[in-house]
Amino acid sequence: MNTEKPAGQDRSARELEMYFGPQHLGMVGNFSITLNVEGDRIIKAAANPGYLHRGFEKLMELRTWIQNFPMVCRINVVEPDSMEMIYSMAVEKLAGIEVPERAHYVRSIYLELARVGSHLFGLWAYANMLGFDTVAQWAMYHRDLVLDLFEELTGGRVYHIYIWPGGVRRDFPEGFADKLVNTLHAIGGCVPDYDAAFFENRVFYERARGIGTVTREEAKEMGGTGQVLRATGMEYDIRKVQPYAAYDKVPWSVHTREDGDAYSRIWVVRDEMIESVHMIFKLLEAMPRGEVYNRIPNPFKWNIPPGEAYVRCESSRGELGLYLVSDGGDRPYRVHFRTPSYPHGLTVLEKALQDASIADVGNIMISLYVVAPEIDR
């Protein structure tokens, strides 16, 4: 022991290693962070994923192209729909399958609805963590209304497997569009309540302002996308950069904020949710009639020509990519997902936690919108 220095003056003696999660009330999801703290200040944070590693990418190499769908959608539990979309896009690109015009619109509407549901879930998590229990309950209730729509459309509430190579599984049922509009109006009618109780609330401002700030340069350096980047004033959205489905068919805008802190990120989420609802209305109006599905070859005897494809789309959390390789067989040769939570939960989180207070760890993590199963896959 070093006896020359008086107690408390040796920095290393005051530095503690602390485990935050996976069994911690402030932690959302199966994820943990090792914190080096001095008093209440975090000196260094090390993200520690792997609690949900199921080896999906390896398992997918053992299953046929179509059999992989139930696994693909379980990579992101909160928003499985963009996962179906990206896998379908990659398979379509490799196999050269065309998608009918109407299916593009149906896909866009479906994905935007999923984005609303996912953002409401994120809002629940964030409001709950800050102690806004009422707002959290509203968000959960409204998400449930969205799930009801999914149930009617696809038969499943959480995992839908609705998007399929060649289009979507079925067209909107009779009267579904009206129900969709009514539900979205009901949710949209509560925006003033949300604003009064949460977004324009002084408590939210005080708790989120200046917390977990990531500058634009830092975000770019660490692979940030989605809200992390848009909260720093960059209009970076894959739906605009490389439009897919029907996103280039109707006018819409990307919402940004300037400060790069938790407050800006949650405001971007709010604005995006409202934009998604408006986009659904525009898409419903512009939607053409016709088929929603192009027949694919018999899935039991379906060999896809050799090749590689990298496709990307904008999930509710940021840029979602998929690198897919076929060797000409009836199953993928290599699958690798680029999930938005991967850089956000590892590199960006470690950076944002530096010099933060222990009390803000959950705040920063949820505002970065990290979903642990996306990291582990």
Partner 1 sequence: MNDALRKKLSSTFSDLQITAAGDGDTSITVPKGSLMSLLSFLKSQGYEHLGLISCVDWVEQKEFELIYIVSAYMSRDHEHGEQERSSIIVKTRISREEPRFLTVIPVYGNAEPYERELHELFGIHFEGHPRLIPLLLEREYPVPPFRKDFDTRKYVKEVFDSVPSLEDPEE
Q: How far is the CB of 240 from partner 1 (least distance, A)?
A: 5
Q: Look up residue 121 and give its DSSP letter.
A: H
Q: Report, in Å, the least distance between residue 222 CB and partner 1.
A: 5
Q: Of how many residues is the chain composed?
A: 377
**Chain residues in the site for partner 1 (CB under 8 A):** 49-50, 53, 55, 57-59, 62, 93, 220-223, 225, 229, 233-237, 240-242, 254, 308-310, 312, 319, 321, 323, 325, 333-334, 336, 338, 342-343, 346-347, 376
Residue 281 or 333 having the CB closest to partner 1 = 333
Output the smallest distance, CB 175 to partner 1, in A. 37
In angstroms, give the least distance from the CB of 48 to partner 1: 9
Q: How far apart are CA 100 and CA 77, in angstroms?
A: 28
Task: Please calculate the CA angle 23-27-33 and round it to the nearest 5 degrees.
Answer: 80
How would DSSP label each residue in 227-247? HHHHTTT----HHHHS--TTT
Distance from chain centroid for Cα 301: 34
Closest distance of CB 115 from partner 1, Å: 19
Instruction: Give which of 120, 55, 70 is closest to 377, Cα–Cα.
Output: 55
- Residue 322: its H or E element: strand 318-326
Q: 267 near 257, Cβ under 8 Å?
A: yes
Question: What are the start-end ranges of the E strands in 1-87?
Answer: 15-20, 32-38, 41-48
Least separation in angstroms between CB 234 and partner 1: 5
Which residue, among 80, 104, 97, 98, has the nearest Cα to 244 in the 3D structure?
104
In Å, how far are 131, 226, 236, 365 from 211, measured between CA atoms?
A: 16, 18, 22, 11
Closer Cβ to partner 1, 240 or 282, answer by number: 240
